[in-house]
Amino acid sequence: MPRLYLGIVLHNHQPVGNYGFVFERLYHDAYEPMLGALERHPSVRIGMHNSGPLFDWLAAHRPEYMRRLRALCDRGQVELLTGGYYEPILPMIPDADKTGQIRKMSAFIESAFGQTPTGLWLTERVWEPGLPAPLAGAGVEWTLVDDAHFRMAGMPPEALRGYYLTEDQGQRIGLFAGSQRLRYTIPWLNVEDLIEELRAQATDDIARAPYLVLGDDGEKFGGWPTTYEHVWEDGWIERFFSAIEEQGDWLELITPGAYARRFPPLGLTYLPTASYAEMMEWAMPAAAAAEYHRVYEALTHDGRDDVLAYVRGGFWRYFLARYPEANAMHKRGLRIDAKLARAGSDAARDALWQGQCNCPYWHGVFGGLYLRNIRAVTNANLVRAERLADAAMSTGGVYVGERDYDFDGRAEVLLQTPHISLLAHPHEGGMLSEFDFRARDHAALDVLARRREAYHAALTDGTAGKANDDVTNIHGAVRFKQEGLHDALVFDAHRRAGLQEWLLPAAATPESFARGDAKPWFAPDRAWSSDAGVVEGGVVLRMAVDASAPRIEKRIELPVAGERVTVRYTIDNTGDAPLTGRFVSEWDISAPQAPDGDDRIIRLETDATAIDLAATAGAISGAARFVVRGSAAWGIACEPETPCDVWHFPVNTVSSSEGGLELVAQGTSISLPRLLDLAPGASCDLAFAWSAVRVEPAAYGD
């Protein structure tokens, strides 16, 4: 009789720092119901991978899940997969971190569930040819990639019903090919039709032991939009598991690890760098991704499978080139790794590993990098990791370094005291990309720029649709979750940072500045000269630019002790004509939030008033002092040397999530503008200081 072996591997993950209510909802909608289904169908055997952040939450909040999963493991119904504990993209982190994170996860599984995992869930199926050596060195025997990875190497679909061996530097692992067809049809296809598709894959040649594997997100079974009703209330999973049990004479459900112990490999192979098809499209530049998608859809419509087998998108690491904010987090991690190589610290290492969680380093249909709360926690872990690494190195005082920290080919300047860390980019307008309150683990400039994405075309050409209740693949048509998104589309010409200077027409307003309509004649895109050093009592960085007219100099002062940064500007009219207009010093601020606070709270407070910074653009006049604060019991105060005006506007992006396009808050632009009317040879000064101050805790709606 024809026979087929089927593997199911579910991957459950929530990123470090995700909201507690998200964990709770997905536990109720996806994670717990799947355990119940497995308990009701004891002959169903699957592979499962839960990420470390999810295990940490489950152990703390739902210990009964841990006990029930242990029982399923004990009776051989669930085979657990290891992985990087905090779910990093493995090729992007050093080998020592790869093996360290994998060993941490494997040790946890052995202790909590009594299994020694042999297989690894490869985060986002991002494969690079150098992975076998570190994986094998961490005790991994096999992993799962997409069948598309194999097709890119020229291997036909009929050759993928099993597993292959691959190696690097003589270290080998097994590779299973996850079926894209199963990933697109489960749980969408009618169960009866799905079973018939599987039956068509069965063969009389038992020696070949044909094997198909589904490797996919557990959240799609109840956690994605509309799936709870489809999978659980309408009974899709019950029908599917029952059908598998009824087809036992020709269909055997077996985990990849069990299959590898029972059957030999199909041979040796080498695969190119790849991820799943959607990820490789998302990784491309926006215009290229849109064009790629049009070509792919046209070929699909025309039935050109012969061509599609050789069509592929981009390369995962390009996300780091596409998004300088993601690159900054990644390169800060490498900076910390270098410090930890000189002085070890278990606490610093674990904080660094948490900062390697993959989610804020890329963006696709899921929010990823665009989720402010996830990005904030990642940066907080990186700030803490570096602070602890410096403590382990006993550096103590101040540090000034000048080198290419972000690997863009130009030198940056790093200034650090025990309380403040600044990273200046003289060749990018002299901006600051890092302004950290180190003792508070807060990255004050964690604000994402507003960039054009491929899916924005659905708004501009009118092809997006309102979110609805249809059962559909979230990788399909673009939908939107709210009205008015087209009008909210604004794209920045420069990265959002701090210490960025503009010269605008005198008639410019906060509203025109927010929309990018102010027509600057000096923008933060020029190279500045720089000079930094340690002086008595602290650190000083001087930068200057000669724009023909004017010449601008800025001086940043850090004391050895204290959470304070002082900024001083001198603007000289070096031209032959009067200089009129508006000088603006812009700072993009991420307000401090309490760990359990409501991060919708973003306010500017003075002695006389409190302004909701999440609302609209605006201005206040003659401020002697103001504080930018969130829900935390501290805020970031600005004290001008003389009272000045303050401009503000919310930095919002129109971003994609699994539910559709939505408006997402990224932070707040705070600017100190000054009207200029300088005769030839005249100059003016502007000075202010940022510091951390205590404020009363706030709740949303106060």
- Mind telling me the catalytic residues? 124, 217
Pairing state between β 211-217 and 251-253: unpaired
Backbone angles phi, psi at 44, to 5 degrees: -85, 125
Q: Is 540 exposed, middle or buried (0-12, 13-18, 19+ CB in 10 A)?
A: middle
Strand partners, 654: 663
CA distance 72 to 342: 44
Q: Report which residue type is found at 70.
A: R
* Tally of CB atoms within 10 A around 321: 14
Mutual angle of helices 95-113 and 63-74, in 10-degree steps: 80
CA distance 129 to 132: 7
Strand partners, 145: 177
Could you list the beta-strand ranges (E) of 417-550: 420-425, 431-437, 442-443, 465-466, 479-480, 500-504, 529-535, 538-546
Pairing state between β 163-168 and 500-504: unpaired
Rg (CA), the chain: 28
On the question of a cis peptide bond just before residue 15, with omega within 30 degrees of 0, the verdict is no
Taking CA atoms, 544 is separated from 497, 524, 531, 551, 556, in Å, by 18, 12, 9, 7, 12
CA distance 664 to 661: 9
Place of tokens 């693949």: 473
CA distance 252 to 213: 12
Among the listed residues 378, 498, 340, the one whose alpha carbon sits nearest the alpha carbon of residue 18: 378
* Tally of CB atoms within 10 A around 237: 24
Exposure of 424 in the CB half-sphere (CA atoms within 13 A): 28
**347 contacts: CB under 8 Å, gap ≥ 6:** 388
Pairing state between β 119-120 and 142-146: parallel
CA distance 338 to 343: 9
Among the listed residues 408, 348, 419, 400, the one whose alpha carbon sits nearest the alpha carbon of residue 690: 419
**122 contacts: CB under 8 Å, gap ≥ 6:** 83, 90, 131, 143, 144, 145
Could you list the beta-strand ranges (E) of 278-429: 399-403, 412-416, 420-425
Place of tokens 């610290």: 345
